[in-house]
Structures are given as C-alpha cells and as structure tokens.
Structure 1
Amino acid sequence: MEYKAKYITEDIKLSCYDDNFFKSDIMFEHHMLVWFISGETKIVQADATYYFGKGDIFLIPRNQLATIINYPKDLQPHKTVVMHLTVERLRHFYASHPSKPQTMRPQQIYSFNHHPLLESCLASLIPYFDMKNLPEDIASLKITEAISILRTIDRSVDNVLANFEEPGKIDLAEFMEKNFMFNMPLEKFGYLTGRSLTTFKRDFSKAFNNTPQRWLTQKRLELAHYHLKEKKKKPVDVCYEVGFENLSHFSFAFKKHFGYAPTKLLE
C-alpha cells in the first residue's frame, strides 16, 4: 500500500491511498470531519454500516470504535481532507459560545452529503497543502469556520462537540458483546469501559470466565460462521468485518475451530 499525507497542521491533512484496498480497526481519539475528494470508504460500527464516496462530508464523534475499509474508485485514489476537532480546541471555542449538551448514546456519524458551505470551507484548504510555511492562525481560523458551519447546519451537533466527558465505568460484558468484532488493543477496551488494563482483565475474567483473547477469537469466528452461512457473504469480506487482519489467518483459525474451511459453507 502506498500512503501519502500532506499536513497544514497536525489537525488538518490531505490523505491519499493509492493501493486497491486498506483496512484498519481504530478508535477515534478526536472528532473527525472528513471530505471525500475521490474513492470510497466503508465504515462498520457495532450498530450500523456506512458507505461514503466522492463529495460526501461526514463527522465522526470521538471515542468511537469502527472498522474502516478504503477503496479507490473510477481509477482514482482514495483521497480525503481530514480535520481533527480536538477537545482542547473545542473547549476554547465553546468558552465564547456557551452550550449545554445533552448526552447522546450512541453517538452516530453525522452525514452532511455535499453541503455547499462545508464543501467550500474544506475545498479552500487544498492550496495550503503545497505551502511550506503556513501561519498557525490561518489553520485555526479554518477549524473555527468549520465548527461554526457545523452548528449552523445542525445545532444538535453541540451535543457531541461540546461534550468533554471521558468514558466512565460501564457494564463490561454488555460493551464487549457489542464491540468484540473490533481488533483493538486491550488497553483501548479498558479505556472505553472506564478501566485500567489490570482492572479490565480482572473484570473480564469474572464476567466471562475466560481470557480476553480466547473469548474474542471464539466470538469473531461464531459471527463469521453466521455471515457465511446465513447471509452468504464472501470469506474475504467476512474476514475483515469480524476483526481478523488477513484472510490466511482467518481461514486457518476458522478451520481449526469448526473443522472445515470457510469456503465449505458457500458450496
């Protein structure tokens, strides 16, 4: 995979994948505003699957787990402008724009399609990516402009952007049953359930009477079996959607667990 990125600041980048395919399981540490220039993306979350393509604009709330699958399209690379809306910057913004956010669970991805105001704001960044030295205040003004436009389009976005709470301690079993398909370090699972790594492992053992890795592998294989048998999906698609990193590892683990290869279910 050939990946290229140009930065105006660490919070604004032009991202480009030239390969045929890129997949990653990630936790969004910052809110992300994304504008598609070309290519396609499939975003799989516990409760929903999203598809985005050329011209689409969307906002992903922070502290969300997702599987991201990027594709080129129409002989064009997967190319996006990405803007991070950090808690620090949002605190500064809302200090002069007071808001009382309401808790929203789960926080869904906001889709703005081809909204002209947002598209104009993000497209105006393109010339800056080729400049060697850009004053920090210009980048800051662009992010402030984007936040202001988001609030103009949909005021409920304050419920996400003005909410600065960190994840609190929640029911571990419920969370893991919902999010086991995301291939995250255990530290990330611990953070999102309000626990240290040590406490997470201890509580996990109490909840499932098993180690996290064994339980995760079993749950992912069971989900894969369901997708293959009941939904007739291809092994290559199922592999990535249930949390495996490559097809060969998935096929080996599947055959070891069930006694036959994934392709057997498609016959």
Structure 2
Amino acid sequence: MEHVSKYLTQEIKLSCYEDKLFKSDLMFDDHMLVWFISGRTKIIQPGATFHFKAGDIFLIPRNLLATVINYPSDGLPHKTVVMHLSVERLKQFYQHIELRVKLRPERKIYHFHQHPLLESCLASVVPYFDVAGTFPANIASLKITEAISILREIDPSIDHLLANFDEPGKVDLIDFMEKNYMFNMPMEKFGYLTGRSLSTFNRDFKKTFQTTPQRWIMERRLELAHYYLAEKQQKPTDVFMEVGFEDLSHFSFAFKKKFGYAPTKLHSA
C-alpha cells in the first residue's frame, strides 16, 4: 500500500493513499478537521455510518472511537488535508473568550458539506506543501486560528465541544462495551475511555461479564457477523472489517470454529 503524508507542522498534513483501500480503527487525541480533495471515506460508529467524498469537510472529536475505511475513487487517490485541533491550541484560543454556559458536548461527527469559508481556509495551505524549507510557525498558528473561528461562525454550539477539556469520566461498562466492541483498540484505550486504569478495567470487566475482555469481544464480533450474513445477506468480504477483524482468513477461521461452518456457506444459503 502506498501511503504518503506530508507535514507542514505536527498539526497540519496532506495525506494520500494510492492503494485500493485502507482501514483502521482510530481514537484521536486531538479534534481532527478533514477536507477531501479526492477519494472516498466510510466512517463506522456505533449505530451510525457516514460516507464522505471529494469536497466534503468533517470534524471528528477527540476520544471518539471510529472505524475509518479510505478508498481511491474515479481513478484518483484518497487525498485529504488534515488539521489537528489540539487541546493546547484550543486552550490558547479560548483563554480570553467568556462562554455563557458550559454544556456536555455531543459525541458526534460534524459534517460541513463544501462550506466555502472552511474549504477556502483548508485549500489555502495546499500550496505550502510544495515549498521547500520550514513552514513558518506563525502562519500555521494563523491558519488554525482561522479554522477555529470559521467553525464557531458556522456552528456557535461547537464551543461546547472545542472548549471542553475534560478527560473521560467513569462510565457504565456494559453500555460502553456493547456500543464499542467492534473497534480494535488496546485494552488500555478501552480502560481510559471508560474512566479506568487497565487493572481496574480488567477487574471490573471480569466481575461484570464473568470472562476476559478478549474472549467476550471475540464472541460478540462473531455473533454480529452471523447476524449480518444471515439476516442482512451481506457478503463475508463486506462484513469482516465492519465487525472488527483485521483480515478475512482470520475471520473465516474464527467463524467456522464457533459455528461449525464457513461464513461463505451461510451467505450462499
């Protein structure tokens, strides 16, 4: 797979995938503002699937679990400009802004379809990727400040997300795991997102589910795959990534071991 990333700074990059597709399960430490130059992306969250194409702009909040599948399209690579809106940068931006009410932010992906101001802001950094030398820090700061200002102009309620610097608190383990078991994350990440250390997460999990996280996650993924194949009549090649497996052969082996027959037999039936 050919994947090239060019960085102006740690906060602004141009990402390009040349191959057929690239899939990853992600949880970002920063809010990610993404503008599509070409290609397509499918983002899968609990209970929601999003499709983005050239011209689309979206914002993924930090600490949000998602499966991201990137595809080339129309003979062009998957190419995006990505801007990191870090907690440090946002704290600087908001330090002199008085917010009236601090509400709990919505944990969702924000979509700004071909918005002219945002598109102009993000497109304006593209020429800098072809300029030799170090990208001036003051220009990077201006571009990120401009992007934040435009986001606030488009959607004033976005302050509740961007100005919220809280870490994840302790949440109900059953509810969280039922919504997020299909994501391939280290157990440390699952612990962090549920407000627990790794040891506390493992202890609480065993007490709640009477098994280990790894075994429970495998069982739930296979059960979900069986549902997609039997009830939705989806193909194994379309299912294995969506339920959390990294490759088709591992999925087929695990499925046959649990159910006694290959997933292809169920689909063909």
TM tier relative to shorter chain: over 0.9
The amino acid of 1:95's aligned partner reads Q
Counterpart of 2:111 in structure 1 is 111
- Counterpart of 2:158, as a letter, is V
Residue by residue over 1:94-113, the C-alpha shift from the partner in whole angstroms, topping out at 9 and shown as x without a partner, is 012222431034x1111000
Q: Is 1:167–1:191's contact at 8 Å kept on the other side of the alignment?
A: yes
Please give the residue correspondences for 1:179-198 in structure 2 after superposition, counting only pairs within 5 Å. 179-198=180-199
Shift of 1:178: 1.0
1:239 Cα deviation from its structure 2 partner: 0.3
Report whether the alignment pairs 1:207 with 2:208.
yes
Structure 1 unaligned regions, length at least 5: none
Is 1:251 equivalent to 2:252 in the alignment?
Answer: yes
1:205 positional shift: 0.1
Distance 1:217 1:64 in 2: 21
Map of 1:216 onto structure 2: 217
Contact 2:105–2:164 (CA under 8 A) maintained in structure 1: no
Letter of the 2:67 partner, please give it. T
TM-score, structure 2 normalization: 0.97
Query: What is the distance in 1 between the residues matched to 2:170 and 2:185?
Result: 18
| Counterpart secondary structure, 2:240 | helix
Query: How many equivalent residue pairs?
Result: 266
5+ residue gaps, structure 2: none
The residue that corresponds to 1:170 in the other structure is: 171
AA matched with 1:96: H
Report the equivalent of 1:84: 84
Shift of 1:197: 0.4
Task: List aligned pairs for 1:1-267, cutoff 5 A.
Answer: 1-99=1-99, 100-105=101-106, 107-131=107-131, 132-267=133-268
Aligned counterparts of 1:159 and 1:47: Cα–Cα separation in 2: 23
Kindly provide the CA deviation profile for residues 133-174 of structure 1, in whole angstroms up to 9, marking residues without a partner as x.
Answer: 221010010000000000000101111101111001111111
State the superposition RMSD in angstroms: 0.8
Which residue identity does 2:157 align to in structure 1? S
Q: Do the aligned partners of 2:38 and 2:78 also contact (CA within 8 Å) in 1? A: yes
Aligned 8 A contact 1:101 1:160 in 2: no
Structure 2 CA distance for aligned equivalents of residues 192 and 236 of structure 1:
30
SS of the aligned residue for 1:76 comes to: coil
- Residue 252 of structure 1: how far off its partner (Å): 0.5
List structure 1 segments (4+ residues) > 3 angstroms apart after TM superposition: none
Q: Per-residue CA shift, 1:7-52, capped at 9, x if unaligned?
A: 1100100000000010001112110000000000000001211000
One-letter identity of the residue aligned with 2:170: K
Alignment partners' CA distance in 2, 1:98 and 1:77: 43
C-alpha separation in 2, matches of 1:178 and 1:193: 12
- Distance in 1, matches of 2:184 and 2:238, equals 15
Give the partner amino acid of 2:74: D
Identity %: 68
- What is the TM-score with the length of structure 1 in the denominator? 0.98
Alignment partners' CA distance in 2, 1:7 and 1:104: 30
3-state DSSP class of the match of 1:240? coil
CA distance, structure 1, for counterparts of residue 117 and residue 212 of structure 2: 49
Do 1:58 and 1:111's aligned partners in 2 also have CA atoms closer than 8 Å? yes
Q: Residues 251 and 261 of structure 1 are in contact (CA less than 8 Å); yes or no, is this contact kept in structure 2? A: yes
Asked if the contact 2:105/2:160 (under 8 Å) is kept, the reply is yes
**Inter-partner Cα distance in structure 2 for 1:11 and 1:199:** 33
